[in-house]
Amino acid sequence: MSHPDDSLADKGAALETEMAEMKARLSRVAQDAAAAQVLARGADRDVADLTREIGEFRTHNTTLHNTTREDLRDVREDLRETRQDLKNLREATTNGFVEMRGKLDAAAAGQAQIAAMLTTLLQRDDQNDDTN
């Protein structure tokens, strides 16, 4: 028969072994918890950094869009002015051609009149030469 003290001693030894295992597990759990806290703090810092960087990106992006919008507004205004300048130049060129055409027509008419007068004079000279 087994001795009740032996059974109690075996149970006590088993409890001590189990207690030592539980302490080891508890120690590992505590270490894991501490590591998890370190990781969580790192993640919090990373999230804070990302939030700051996204805010800076938004600010920069908004500034870039506003600058681009202003540049496009300036380009449109320059384009309007250039179109107006081209229209004015076209009108001035057309008016200049019309004016030159009028002067050339007047000069041609004057030359035709001179040619007609010369022809008349030559014909008179020829008639006078024939009568003499």
pLDDT truncated to tens, each residue of the chain (132 aa)? 456 567 888 898 999 999 999 999 999 999 999 999 999 999 999 999 999 999 999 999 999 999 999 999 999 999 999 999 999 999 999 999 999 999 999 999 999 999 999 999 999 888 877 776
Structural domain spans, the chain: 1-97
Distance CA 43, CA 36 (A): 10
Per-residue pLDDT at 2: 55
Query: Which run of H or of E encompasses 46?
Result: helix 4-131
**Placement of tokens 């999230």 in the chain:** 47
Please tell me whether residue 3 adopts helix, strand or coil conformation.
Answer: coil
Q: What are the C-alpha distances in Å from 84 to residues 71, 80, 92, 118?
A: 20, 6, 12, 50
Query: Which run of H or of E encompasses 47?
Result: helix 4-131
Per-residue pLDDT at 126: 80
Distance CA 28, CA 23 (A): 9
